[in-house]
Structure 1
Amino acid sequence: MPGEGSPIPIIDFKRWLKAESPKKKEQIAQELADACCRVGFAYIINHGVRDDLVQEAFAWSRKLFDLPMEEKMLAPHPPGPYIHRGYSQPGLEKVSQYVHKDGADPNAEDEELRRVQDYKESYEIGSEDFPDQPNVWLPETVLPGFREFMLRFYWQCFETAKELLRAITMGLGLSREDAESLILRRHTGLNNQLRLLHYPPIPREKLLSIEVARMPAHSDWGSITMLFQDECGGLQVEDPNKPGIFLDAEPIEGALVLNVGDLLMRWSNDTLKSTLHRVTLPPAQGGKAGEITPARYSIPYFVSPDPEVVVECLIPDEPAKYPPVVWEDYRRLRAKLMYPEGETAGTSG
């Protein structure tokens, strides 16, 4: 059974949502915070996002990616790395853990990282009320109802995200009042990102020989990520006790995968762990020559604070391990190599 023997705990979040006393809430909060401290990941079951909505989101995602390329390209990702919306074709985005350093040559680094392309396509969606990141929608005639559903799903996910943040911060020892003031008031939902991802079928040998990648090892930049994944598998998480060793995070029916992002790690002064993870071959793949990997679909929901929020240590009486940073500055630093400057989704092979 998926999850057995895995270091990633399974948390039944219904106990938080239906708790009748503060003590019961504290118990589940401590379990969740402990998972975020030890592993940085947890399976969340009974999370509050209705299963029929999740299944509908996957159905829309398949409809989207089944469209002809010329129709998907009616909503192209804007040029450059800083507005992250719309459709990206395979090979355009490059995920990495690289962060620019003073004196580094960004063009040379970009060229080296892009030598191995990420073989995936994606569609990015945000709030309609955030002008800094305007949505790029397909014409309604191409996919009627898509926009309306995705915006509804976006805000439904945020309701669950707020409860997860409340639980994690309570588990860290913050009072509900402090959690609301220090964390939740900084997260209005306007700056989150809903991402539809499709990994097309590909010969197994191309991934093994590193001709292409699905998604290389990286940490997420924001506060938390909620991931819905199909039954295919392929997500791997770095072993918390063995750096460089990655363990399968196999799908569990009805569960979302929660992981801590860089900002929550900084806020908690490294108490919470922003863990490296990647997408590679599904664990059930055999070793037959010429084998083709199955298509994989996943839907991550990235939860981030508002752009002007300053992220700094919230743990009292501890020397801060990181200097304060404005979220928008950190986001731009991490995004710099994802999309080449001046390049749009229609100009990358």
Structure 2
Amino acid sequence: MNPIKTLDYGHWVSGDDTQRKAFAKSLHDQLVELGFLKLKNYGMSDDYVDHLFNLTEEFFKLPYEDKKKIAYFHGPKLQRGWSSLGSEKSATLDSPENQSHADLHDAKEHFDCGAAEDAAYPNQWPDASAIDGFQHGIEHYFDQCQKIGLNLMEALEMGFDLPPRCLQTRFAEHASQLRLNHYPPIQAAKLKDGSTNRLWPHTDYGILTFLLQDTVGGLEIWDNVNQAGFIPVPTSPRREMIVNAGGTLERLTNDFLKAGLHRVVSPATADDEGMLPGRYSIAFFLHTSRTTSAAPLPSFISADHPSLYEDITTFEFERRRTEKTYKDEAPIANGQEQKEIAV
């Protein structure tokens, strides 16, 4: 039986005390035991989700020159704008320091943005005339996800029996990020030769990730419950939101809760000799304020379980991780053409 349980978000935001307590316990249990869950009834209609995917597809269909205008300057900075096919190296995220993965490729391009009011790291948007309503639609979804994230922090406080608002107060400033992913069509055999993956096994580095995916398939998570290795995440219904724990939450809980390991590969039902269709997903990464400590909270430290992590800011933790994902790539902004992967 698939261990990913679906929680009814409506039980938290509009339920009675019994429903709220049950939701908080289920949220706690799923994240501690598996690192993943699904949410339903989170306030977004099927039509709204379809609209988000339409905007996503329209962006990646833009001409290369239009996307290049808002290309991300690769390096240890926050990602804003478009990252070209294969430029990010997810294989490096959970590997030993200084290990090069120049020959391991990601068959993916993506677009990243932060909060509209984040003056320190301004967003890069395509020309308004290129995609009608793109910026407004993405910013609106960003804000909705931020609200859901803060509500889930309140639920986690209850689930862990933490002091009220000890998690919520860590979000005084908006530092969350949103990513649109496009995995172009690719020969299935290319994902079997060991050099290319749609997304290599890795953990995210925020607090929580909220993911919407299309019905193509290929997303797999590590099954800590049944010790069954990687298992596929069902793709239907598309409107269900997948939630996973990130590295910052792992640190704050001193490893009582582990970040969810996942990857994107060829679906089990795919023909090994055929062509995989393109895949799209939309990921929101909930982050605390950048100056907040990423050291374990006092509630998770004891004589028997001392702190496992150094006291650095969440921004420094994120910066180190971002630097690893681009260390084998040169900046596209310096005039280099997009590095294509044979698909």
TM-score (norm 2): 0.90
Task: Tell me, yes or no, if the aligned pair for 2:294 and 2:317 is still in contact at 8 Å.
Answer: no
SS at match of 1:52: helix
Q: Give % identity.
A: 29
Post-superposition offset of 1:241: 4.8
CA RMSD of aligned residues (A): 2.0
1:257-279 per-residue CA deviation (whole Å, 9 max, x = no partner) reads 00001111111121222121101
Task: Tell me, yes or no, if the aligned pair for 2:6 and 2:38 is still in contact at 8 Å.
Answer: yes
Instruction: After TM superposition, list the pairs within 5 Å mapping 1:129-144 onto structure 2.
Output: 129-144=117-132
1:277 paired to 2:262: yes
Distance in 2 (alpha carbons) for counterparts of 1:198 and 1:49: 22
Aligned length: 331
Post-superposition offset of 1:77: 1.1
Instruction: After TM superposition, list the pairs within 5 Å mapping 1:1-349 onto structure 2.
Output: 5-21=1-17, 23-98=18-93, 106=98, 109=99, 112-175=100-163, 177=164, 180=165, 182-188=166-172, 190-241=174-225, 245-253=229-237, 254-287=239-272, 289=273, 291-314=274-297, 315=299, 318=302, 319-340=306-327, 343-344=331-332, 347=336, 348-349=338-339
Post-superposition offset of 1:317: 5.4
Task: Tell me, yes or no, if the aligned pair for 2:185 and 2:275 is still in contact at 8 Å.
Answer: yes
* Consecutive unaligned residues in structure 2, runs of 5 or more: none
Distance in 2 (alpha carbons) for counterparts of 1:186 and 1:51: 32
Post-superposition offset of 1:316: 5.0
Post-superposition offset of 1:284: 2.4
TM-score (norm 1): 0.89
Task: Tell me, yes or no, if the aligned pair for 2:171 and 2:289 is still in contact at 8 Å.
Answer: yes
Task: Tell me, yes or no, if the aligned pair for 1:265 and 1:274 is still in contact at 8 Å.
Answer: yes
Task: Tell me, yes or no, if the aligned pair for 1:48 and 1:160 is still in contact at 8 Å.
Answer: no
Q: Amino acid of the residue matched to residue 325 of structure 2? A: M
Task: Tell me, yes or no, if the aligned pair for 2:222 and 2:260 is still in contact at 8 Å.
Answer: yes
Change (3 A) 1:19 1:189: farther
SS at match of 2:91: coil
Q: Amino acid of the residue matched to residue 199 of structure 2? A: M
Distance in 1 (alpha carbons) for counterparts of 2:95 and 2:319: 10
Distance in 2 (alpha carbons) for counterparts of 1:126 and 1:240: 32
Post-superposition offset of 1:242: 6.8
Post-superposition offset of 1:168: 2.0
Post-superposition offset of 1:124: 0.5
Post-superposition offset of 1:191: 0.8
* Consecutive unaligned residues in structure 1, runs of 5 or more: none
Q: Amino acid of the residue matched to residue 283 of structure 1? A: A
Task: Tell me, yes or no, if the aligned pair for 2:38 and 2:243 is still in contact at 8 Å.
Answer: yes
Change (3 A) 1:209 1:133: same
